[in-house]
Amino acid sequence: MSHVFPRHTKANLPTVSHGEGVYLYDKNGKQYFDGSGGAAVSCLGHGDRDVIDAIKAQLDTAAYAHTSFLTSQPAEELADKLIGLAPPNIDRVYFVSGGSEAVESALKLARQYFWEKGETKRKYFIARRQSYHGNTLAALATGGNEWRRAPFSPLMIETSHIAPCFDYRERKDDETLSEYALRAANELETEILRLGAENVIAFVAEPVVGATLGAVPPVEGYFKRIREICDQYGILLILDEVMCGMGRTGTMFASEQEGIGPDIVTIAKGLGAGYQPIGAMLCTAEIYSTIENGSGFFQHGHTYIGHPTACAASLTVVNKLVDHQLVERCAQMGEKLNTALRSTFSQHPHVGNIRGRGLFRGLEIVEDRESKRPFSPERAVHKKIKNAAMDAGLFCYPMGGTVDGVHGDHILLAPPFILDDSHIDEITDKLSIAIERGLS
Ligand code: PLP
């Protein structure tokens, strides 16, 4: 009997044997195409020698040093590198061990920033329904996924949720895209006014929604208006790029495509590409200097922040993304994947919507395409498709959830950036089989 505590206590998962390129293998010798990169993590694929060598070299020198005593060369170099790639107003990097820690750090930094300025009344975050920002308590409270929040609802910090920017489900028939973008963004203004701007800390959003809706990009103009509203009312804009950042959508930061910059941005997943657990929270010079010139101490921290081995792995990952033009490759291969998905599934009676950017693509599965009527949640269609895909030798990431009472079954694809044309056919072939079997 296993003593591992799995997330799905009823699941009986195969044991991983090894990984190579775009494939993972289990102990029975079965090969799986890593079509979801785990959960949008494995941007370089598996078994990358350069990253493995960098980890070994760091272990041979100093595996770990606590940041109360020492900084490290990989952390310093990685921070410099990221600042060179980040939106122009971003100036400082705080390294943590994953996405939830990055978001948790961002929320606390935002609150402390105002506290340092004497604006201590501010206590509300505004986020969006059907979003996911992590599983630690404050990150969970910010997320708007009711299913994930339900057992912990009495423990939630004060967050209110507005509608997601979700063209397929939320745009009215008689609305143009720009009218919809404006209406969706203006919900933020209404909510700020309801709470009182002086009580609000920040608006938190994923530029391209990942873990709950399967790669939903914003409508053009939405984030420009969001940025305007945040500036007008003096609240911070926190962008969560844990899943959609690090090149996944075809630009290093997803927000680049919106033409705006955040005050704080979080990254993880592709930052370590799965070779080490690492995340980061990046902020503006204004936020950093307010703390530097105030208490001089960010009231936060973990034992493993700035972990040298994780930073060494990540530095090699980021260098490879840049030196081998892998983000550009992600954009190009993403277009090919998009074309292939559309030619395979756009007439499929149960594929209601195909969406995404770069190698971050989502399919929404519906019972009836015309009316967009979803399958009933009891059928757990997304889980059945995931299981059928595994049988067929493909990992795709399943999501089920409800936005404003409407259930959705979503499938996320986020393959490694190193895939080639034949792999795109492999994804569509295996996914076709999985959808047929999952719905049968
Ligand atoms: N934020 C977003 C947008 C995510 O997609 C996730 C994970 O899926 C997280 C935060 C939490 O990251 P982690 O699972 O590394 O804690």
Q: Hunting for tokens 């989502």 — which residue is that?
A: 362
Residue 39 Cβ contacting ligand 1 at under 6 Å: yes
Burial 97-112 (b: 16+ CB within 10 A, else e): bbbbbbbbbbbbbbbb
Long-range contacts of 319-322 (CB under 8 A, 24+ apart): 319/81, 320/44, 320/48, 320/50, 320/51, 321/43, 321/44, 321/246, 321/247, 321/252, 321/270, 321/417, 322/81, 322/85
Best residue among 42, 100, 212 to mutate for probing ligand 1, ranked by most atoms within 8 Å of CB: 100
Per-residue confidence at 139, pLDDT binned at 50, 70, 90? very high
Higher-pLDDT residue of 400, 39: 39
Q: Residue 115 is which amino acid? A: W
Answer with the residue of higher pLDDT: 9 or 152.
Answer: 152
> Tell me, what's the pLDDT at 6?
86
Q: 399 alpha carbon to ligand 1 midpoint, in Å?
A: 14
Distance 267 CA to ligand 1 centre (A): 9
The preferred substitution site among 96, 103, 104 for testing ligand 1, maximizing ligand atoms within 8 Å of CB, is 103
CA 331 to CA 342: how far, in whole Å? Answer: 16
CA of 270 to the centre of ligand 1 (A): 11
141-177 pLDDT, tens digit per residue, is 999 988 889 999 999 998 999 999 999 999 999 999 9
Domains of the chain from N-terminus onward: 16-48+325-439 (3.90.1150.10), 52-323 (3.40.640.10)
185 has pLDDT over 90: yes
Q: Which atom of ligand 1 is nearest the CA belonging to 39?
A: 8
Look up tokens 């100093």; give the residue: 62
Q: Among 128, 22, 86, which Cα is nearest to 414's?
A: 22
**Ligand 1: residue whose CA is nearest its atom 12:** 99
Cα 242 to middle of ligand 1, angstroms: 6
Tell me what pLDDT residue 1 has. 77
Mean predicted confidence (pLDDT) in 409-437: 98
At 418 the pLDDT is 98
> Which residue shows structure tokens 């402390």?
112
pLDDT value of residue 130: 85
Of ligand 1's listed atoms, the one at least distance from the Cα of 268 is 15
Residues 6+ apart with CB under 8 A from 267: 82, 102, 241, 242, 245, 246, 279, 280, 282
Instruction: From 101, 133, 204, give the residue whose CB has the most ligand 1 atoms within 8 Å, as the site to mutate.
Output: 133
Mean pLDDT for 254-283 is 98
Cα(215) to centroid of ligand 1, in Å?
Answer: 14
pLDDT of residue 128: 97
Over residues 333-351, the pLDDT tens digits come to 999 999 999 999 999 999 9
pLDDT at residue 409 above 80? Answer: yes
Q: What is the pLDDT of residue 414?
A: 98
- What mean pLDDT is reported for the chain? 96
Q: What is the ipTM of this complex?
A: 0.99
pLDDT per residue as tens digits for the range 371-402: 999 999 999 999 999 999 999 999 999 998 77
Residue 352 in this model has a pLDDT that exceeds 90: yes
- Ligand 1 mean position, distance from CA 160 (Å): 19
Nearest CA to ligand 1 atom 14: 99
Q: Tell me the percentage of the chain whose pLDDT exceeds 70.
A: 100
Mean pLDDT of 191-212: 96
When pLDDT is cut at 50, 70 and 90, the band that residue 227 belongs to is very high
Distance in Å, CA 240 to ligand 1 centroid:
9
The amino acid at 223: F
- Ligand 1: which of 132, 140, 209 to mutate, judged by most atoms within 8 Å of the beta carbon? 132
Q: What digits encode the pLDDT tens for the residues 64-110?
A: 999 999 999 999 999 999 999 999 999 999 999 999 999 999 999 99
Using the predicted structure, report yes or no on whether residue 403 has a pLDDT greater than 80. Answer: no
Say if residues 144 and 130 touch (Cβ distance below 8 Å). Answer: yes
pLDDT of residue 145: 86
- For ligand 1, the distance from its centroid to the CA atom of residue 135, given in whole angstroms, is 8
- pTM score above 0.95: yes
